Structure 1
Amino acid sequence: MKAMILAAGRGERMRPLTDHTPKPLLKVGGKPLIVWHLERLAKAGFKEVVINHAHLGEQIEQALGDGSQWAMQVQYSPEKTALETAGGIANALPLLGAEPFLVVNGDTFTEIDFGVLKHALQANHHAHLVLVNNPPQHPNGDFAIEADRLKNTGEKMLTFSGVGVYHPDLFASVTRGEPAKLAPLLRQAIAENQATAEYYQGVWHDIGTPERLNMLNEELKLRAR
């Protein structure tokens, strides 16, 4: 299975940090956010990774190179302007191939076991999401889980972690090179009973503001002692 890291966002809420540095290259625990992902993907046995980029994307390519330092092949899917999540994935499909693939948001920090997700997407399903507890900045959540199925509503609403496994068919309606959001495609998959999910309760952080970046840095310092 191939993996994709989404790294094309502008990071407006992270300014001024992102005025000169793309958000996935911001450091926590002494390493860029995206490097934590690459290390965990390599540990999980992933050999091929696609990274999309737009804002200051050349910095990402210069920093990460061809992926050989992690014993993997890294390819890039540049976007002139950010194409949103589904648009960015659809644009990268020629690099991702015809089989299901893992996608990870580049601006998160997590200890999710990516290796387990290699077998997450069953036959005839288009999407499998990892959901987490709702963070303070997103108290109402996004989806629910019912008997391993992804649902729009439920007794316990959870937040989408930004980690999911998708079949290329999920993006069949997206015109390559045009912006498109992921949520409508997931809602359609739910309506067609083609979306599953799992609940992860371990380490996960959405690095959306400089304050959250600093908090995570302090947490990692404490853990390193």
Structure 2
Amino acid sequence: MKAMVFAAGLGTRLKDETADKPKALVEIGGKTLLQRTIEKLKKEGVDEIVVNVHHFSEKVKNFIATNNFGIPVSISDESEQLLDTGGGLKKAAPLLKDSDPILIYNVDILSTVNLKELVNYHKKSGALATLTVRDRKTERYLKFDEEKRLVGWLNKKTGETKISVPETFESGIEKTFSGIHVVSPEIFEYFPEDDRFSIIDFYLELSKTQLIKGFFDDSDLWMDVGKPHQLEEARRLFS
């Protein structure tokens, strides 16, 4: 099974940390975020990884070239233009198409989510995509029906909604996206013509006609270390 690591972000929330390096090479407990991500993916059954790059892309390429991770790690280069999450997956599609399914993981996520369980759940469901979600307080929520089908999105601060399945949206279960998802390669057939687009908006549009599921995660650890306070918390935890 192949995985894609989203590592092309600018890391603007970590201004001091990312002034001279990309977020993927920020260290926690003596290991970069990219190394921790690759090691987790490998441990849970991934045998080939694609990493997208943009910000300080040459440093990421050099890091990958000079480290032996025990499995192939290739680059999807977005140096010329940052393509957002959906566009990043679309550009990397030729490197991923012969894997079924494909695991996607944000480089700034630390978690103990059971990825093998996630993948098995996805395979059994028949969904085009399965999104790992949690109970977590934030402003933006994905909504799911009782069968865990994605039915919409809600911004509680602004009141904005994006409704995929109107008949179950209001009663939908609110969960927060965890930056970890699985897709079947058939999803590439549904990509828009645009080169740059959000993967979440793509899922919400696709869920109007296709099955997009939620994997409700309650594992012990989940952290978005792309935020300064959580980066410091993670460093205390892994010190």
Shorter chain as normaliser: what TM range?
0.7 to 0.9
Question: Residue 59 of structure 2 corresponds to which residue in structure 1?
Answer: 59
* CA pair 6-140 structure 1, distance change in 2 beyond 3 A: closer
Q: 1:10 to 1:188 in 2, by over 3 A?
A: same
Structure 1 segments of 4+ aligned residues over 4 angstroms from their partners: none
1:219 equivalenced with 2:237 (yes/no)? yes
Per mean C-alpha deviation after superposition, the further-off stretch among 198-207 and 165-174 is 165-174
Partner of residue 190, structure 1: 207
Is this contact kept in 2: 1:90–1:174, CA < 8 A? no
Cα drift, residue 50 of structure 1? 0.4
Q: Are residues 31 and 143 of structure 1, via their aligned partners in 2, closer, same or farther at CA, if it must alter by over 3 Å?
A: farther
Give the percent of matched residue pairs that are identical in Structure 1 and Structure 2: 27
Q: 101-110 or 212-221, which moves further after superposition?
A: 212-221
Judge conservation of contact 1:104–1:163 (CA < 8 Å) in 2. yes
5+ residue gaps, structure 1? none
CA deviation digits over 1:133-190, x for unaligned, max 9?
Answer: 224xx244233352232332445411111110112333433337x2111122111232
- Work out the CA distance in 2 between the residues paired with 1:81 and 1:150: 30
Q: Whole-Å Cα distance in 1 between the matches of residues 107 and 145 of structure 2?
A: 24
- Letter of the 2:104 counterpart: V
Deviations 1:49-74 (A, max 9, x none): 0000101111112112286x332110
For residues 222 and 121 of structure 2, the distance between their equivalents in structure 1, rounded to whole angstroms, comes to 19
Assess, with a 3 A threshold, how the Cα gap between structure 1 residues 161 and 86 changes in structure 2: closer, same or farther.
same
Deviations, residues 106-149 of structure 1 (Å, cap 9, x unaligned): 111111122223333347521111101224xx244233352232
Question: Which residue of structure 1 lines up, in the alignment, with residue 122 of structure 2?
Answer: 121
Matched residue, 2:69: 70
* Alignment-derived partner of residue 85 in structure 1: 85
| Structure 2: distance between partners of 1:143 and 1:12 | 28
Alignment of 1:127-206 (within 5 A): 127-135=129-137, 138-144=138-144, 146-152=146-152, 153=169, 154=171, 156-171=173-188, 172-175=190-193, 178-202=195-219, 203-206=221-224
CA distance in 2, matches of 1:51, 1:190: 26
Letter in 1 for 2:144: A
For 1:129, give the aligned amino acid: L
Task: Name which of 215, 225, 230 aligns with 1:207.
Answer: 225
For normalisation by structure 1, the TM-score amounts to 0.87
Q: Hey, what does 2:156 align to over in structure 1? A: none
Amino acid across the alignment from 2:113? I
The runs of 5 or more residues in structure 2 that have no matched partner are 153-168
Residue matched to 1:4: 4
Instruction: Give runs of aligned pairs for residues 14-25 of structure 1, distance below 5 A.
Output: 14-25=14-25
Amino acid at match of 2:77: P
| Separation of aligned partners in 2, 1:143 and 1:105 | 21
Distance 1:182 1:217, change over 3 A: same
What RMSD over aligned residues (CA atoms) do the two structures have, in Å?
Answer: 2.1
Task: Give the deviation of 1:10 after TM superposition.
Answer: 0.4
- Asked if the contact 1:66/1:75 (under 8 Å) is kept, the reply is no
